[in-house]
A and B are shown apart, each in its own frame.
Chain A
């Protein structure tokens, strides 16, 4: 009988140790990288290389504030020749965007991918040169009246609000590829005398009948990890 008690006691002690060991394994610790992510837009670089009417670039940065929120900003320049229908207009200028993104994606531990929504306030300063226009006429009785006025419209600016959605995936350690689409609407813009802003740097092509615009980017990012936060997570058995 006594032997049996000792036997039961030792089994229960063993079970206790085992369960304690299990309890320790129920929490795992992991590190989350915080830092500055810098990026450039590959579409703008590609258009600069392959599109005759466009030169430009954009660099951006994201700084991680919390697990899901990053502060973001972009700086860029566009040089675009609008050459459609009866108008040929060259627009050059620079822009700045500031805002943030919210990462909706629930990452597996150790991963840092993005499925995000973001908002930006944009500001651009630019100028247009009306290189050429063909006078619009109802009929073709006379030969086309082509003018090359070279009129400059300088010191122009515009502001807009931008909503964006996109995704980023870490393809190598600290290297990310990202896609995003942007819906924008102009809040203020310089009024022109007998002309209109057809293109605004950073905003892209404007619209005559509405203040909405559209853009997209294909970005490559590098994360400079500055520090990491150690987090723990309970694991259900």
Chain B
């Protein structure tokens, strides 16, 4: 799941049963700080994310969250090699 490098927040609307007659959409709010890191002349700069936080927007009845909980595993995101976030449903 990519994060926006141009802002400190990325919101995702994740839909369960998207093709069915009763889709269920949950909002996931991802907040972080950013740091530009120079790599080399070919790649230029990449963005690393710090203080990574994730939160699902809790819906009121009669809607039901299909995401039961989220759990941040790593608050610093430097590469795609490790798991940073668990989403339970």
Determine the chain B residues whose CB is within 8 A of the CB of A84 once the complex forms: 41
Q: Is the CB of B44 within 8 A of A196?
A: no
Q: Is the CB of B44 within 8 A of A87?
A: yes
Check A194/B38 contact, CB under 8 A, given A136-B46, A137-B5.
yes
Interface size on B, residues (CB 8 A): 17
Determine the chain B residues whose CB is within 8 A of the CB of A85 once the complex forms: 41-44
Kindly count the residue-residue contacts between A and B in the assembled complex, taking CB atoms under 8 Å apart: 56
Check A134/B44 contact, CB under 8 A, given A141-B2, A142-B2, A142-B6.
yes
Q: What's the Cα separation between A127 and B45 when bound, in Å?
A: 19
Determine the chain B residues whose CB is within 8 A of the CB of A138 once the complex forms: 2, 80
Q: Is the CB of B44 within 8 A of A133?
A: yes
Main secondary structure of the interface of A (DSSP, over half): loop
Shortest Cβ distance from B37 into chain A, in angstroms? 7
A139 at the interface (CB under 8 A from B): yes
Shortest Cβ distance from B11 into chain A, in angstroms? 12
Shortest Cβ distance from A70 into chain B, in angstroms? 36
B2 to chain A: closest residue by CB: A141
Q: What's the Cα separation between A82 and B40 when bound, in Å?
A: 13
Determine the chain B residues whose CB is within 8 A of the CB of A135 once the complex forms: 5-6, 36, 44-47
Q: List 27 A-B contacts (CB under 8 A).
A: A82-B41, A84-B41, A85-B41, A85-B42, A85-B43, A85-B44, A86-B43, A86-B44, A87-B41, A87-B45, A134-B44, A135-B5, A135-B44, A136-B39, A137-B2, A137-B5, A141-B2, A142-B4, A145-B4, A147-B36, A147-B45, A194-B36, A194-B38, A196-B41, A198-B41, A208-B41, A208-B42
Contacts from B to A (Cβ < 8 Å): 2, 4-6, 36-47, 80
